[in-house]
Amino acid sequence: MNITSLFRLLVALTALNSYANAISILNITTSTNTYPTTTADNFNGGIYDIYGTTDSGNGSGWGSGVTTNFNGADSVINTGDQRTSTGSNPQTTTYFGPTFYAGLNRDAYKGSAGVIHTNGNGYRIRVNNVTQSDIDSNGGDINFKAVFMFDATDADTIDYGFGATDTLVATLATPNNMGAGEGTGSVNRSSLATYRAMVRADGQYYAGTLRNIDLSLLSGANSTTHTLTENAASATWTLMDGMLSSNNQLQGLDSHPKNLTVDGTTTVLGSSLTGITQVGFLLETSASVNTGGYNYGVRAFSAEATAVPEPSSYALIAGMLTLASIMVRRRK
C-alpha cells in the first residue's frame, strides 16, 4: 500500500467513524384523536387495548394530568398508565405513547400540564378560565412553566454527544385564541408563549435557545404550528442547576424553588456535552383574563445525537496515523 492510499484509507475511516454514529434518539408525532391517547371508542378493543384497562370519554383524561413539580424519575408517566380526570364529566384515559417525565411550576391553580392527541395540541399546558380577580390577586397574568423529558434510545448502552449536524426539532402548536382569537373585539387570552429545547447530559439538565412566539400575529380559529429547530452542537445551553424538586407550592411563594425558571449563568456549547440520556422541551405561557382557556403544546418532537467513539476507534485511528508517519519517514 503506497502513502497516498494509506492516507485515503485514514480519511475514510475517520469519516465513517463520524457519520455512521449519527442516530435518531427520539421521534414522537401525535395524531388527530388517535395517538398517544384516543377516544374510548377507538381504544376499547383496538390495537392499543393491551394494558388490561378500559377507557371512557374522548381521551382527555391525561390532558391535565401533570400537577406536581419536576422531580426526575419520580415524575414518570409510563406507557399504559391510566388516569381519570376530575370534574362533572370525568374522562378515563390510557396513555400509550413513550415514557416521559414531566413537571409544572405555576402562579395559581388555574391550569396544569398534560398530554393528549393532536386535537388537544399534544404535550401541553392546559390553561383554564382566568378572571380579573385572579389577575388582581396574582399581581399580573398567571404564569405556567412545564417541562417534558424523554429517554434517548439505547442511552443505557451508547454514550451520546452532539455532532455538527445534529438537531432537535419541535412542531409547536399555538392556539390562535391566545392572540386576537375570533370575533370583533376579541382580546388576547395570553401575554406570553415560549419554547426551549432541553437535554440531560452527564446527569445535569440544560435549557436551549429561548424562542418567543409573537402573539400579535395570531388570529382566527384553531392553532398555528411553528417548526422550531435547535442546532444542537452549535447552540448555547444553560445549566438548570437544582432542577429537581418535590416542592408543589405556587411559584409566587418565597419558599418555592422556581426550578423551571432559566436564570443560570453557567453556559456550555452543545458540542461539549456528553453522556446524553434524555431530551425534551420546556414550555412557558402567561394567561390573561379569558373564558374557555387554551391548550399550548408540542405536537411532534424529534432529536438526533452522535455516538461518542469507543476507545478502540480512537486506537485504530492513532495506529493508522503512526503507520502513516513511519511510511513518510521511510520515503524520505
Residue-wise pLDDT tens digits, 247-272? 999 999 999 999 999 999 999 999 99
Tens-place pLDDT, residues 278-292: 999 999 999 999 999
Rounded to the nearest angstrom, the gap between the alpha carbon of residue 263 and the centroid of all alpha carbons in its chain is 19
Q: How confident is the model at residue 323 (pLDDT cuts 50, 70, 90)?
A: low
What's the rounded mean pLDDT across residues 125-137?
97
Residue 10 confidence (pLDDT) = 45
Question: Torsion-angle region of residue 15: left (phi > 0), alpha (psi -120 to 50) or beta?
Answer: alpha
Average pLDDT value over all residues in the chain: 90
Residue 163 has pLDDT above 50, yes or no: yes
Between CA 303 and CA 230 the distance in angstroms is: 9
Q: How confident is the model at residue 185 (pLDDT cuts 50, 70, 90)?
A: low
The residue whose grid cell reads 449536524 is: 165
Tens-place pLDDT, residues 47-75: 999 999 999 999 999 999 999 999 999 99
Residue 271 confidence (pLDDT) = 97
Give 246's contacts (C-beta < 8 A, 6+ positions apart).
Answer: 68, 69, 71, 74
Burial class (CB in 10 A: 0-12, 13-18, 19+), 195: buried
Residue 318 confidence (pLDDT) = 47
Residue 158's closest CA among 305, 316, 312? 305
C-alpha cell at 206: 440544560
Residue 13 confidence (pLDDT) = 44
Residue 309 confidence (pLDDT) = 80
Residue 98 has pLDDT above 80, yes or no: yes
Residue 235 has pLDDT above 70, yes or no: yes
Residue 321 has pLDDT above 80, yes or no: no
